[in-house]
Structure 1
Amino acid sequence: MTRLTLALAAAFLAVVPTVAAAHAQRGAQRVVVHIECFRGPWREIIWDRPEVGFTDDLVALGYSFAEAEAIGYRVCRDPEGRDDPQHMADVVRDILRTQPPR
């Protein structure tokens, strides 16, 4: 039983890099980032900051926590995005395109 498990694990590990390489060659993949910002009770940008889910989605894409948090603050504190979710989405798309995770 142990030999079978090891053989299956070895076979799986041999296939994973091939599948990953084939997937990477297909081009852009669909990515979902939930843009969630805490706004606070004021109209002014005072406490605005990214929620945990937003930061976690960016970290899952490959950004470091510091990079993800910086992107989140950039998006959530942008005055033009205050009441414009489409602007916030456009900013995130632009950042993902121009500064992809390393």
Structure 2
Amino acid sequence: MAEHLQQPLYRIAAGELIHDKYLEEHVSNVFKTASHFNAILLIDEANIFLHEHSISRVYNHSMTVFLCKLEYYGGILCLTTNHIDEFDDAILSRIHYKLKYKDLTQEFW
């Protein structure tokens, strides 16, 4: 997609965002950097943000920060996960297009 649109791809693992003690600043910087360079933002293994709300204050704060940035991000954001059934409704309502890949077979190769 990035190649087709001739835009840079900014890839980050979700775990790098959520386990940062400067979470809010780090998430803000990631979205700002992607916007500045008109990059397609790819958050890999995003299921860390996608499961149902937790009783953990740290998780809930992380989710709130992420949802706020997601809500106002004007660029293309791709989230990858192997656990689509765990998507939280708060995130699902902000996703405009969902693409599911079938399992690869030997015929593919």
TM class, shorter-length: under 0.3
Query: Which of 1 and 2 has greater Rg?
Result: 1
Higher relative contact order structure (alpha carbons within 8 Å, sequence separation ≥ 6): 2
> TM-score scaled by structure 2?
0.26
Give the TM-score taking structure 1 as reference length: 0.27
Instruction: Select the structure that is richer in strand.
Output: 2
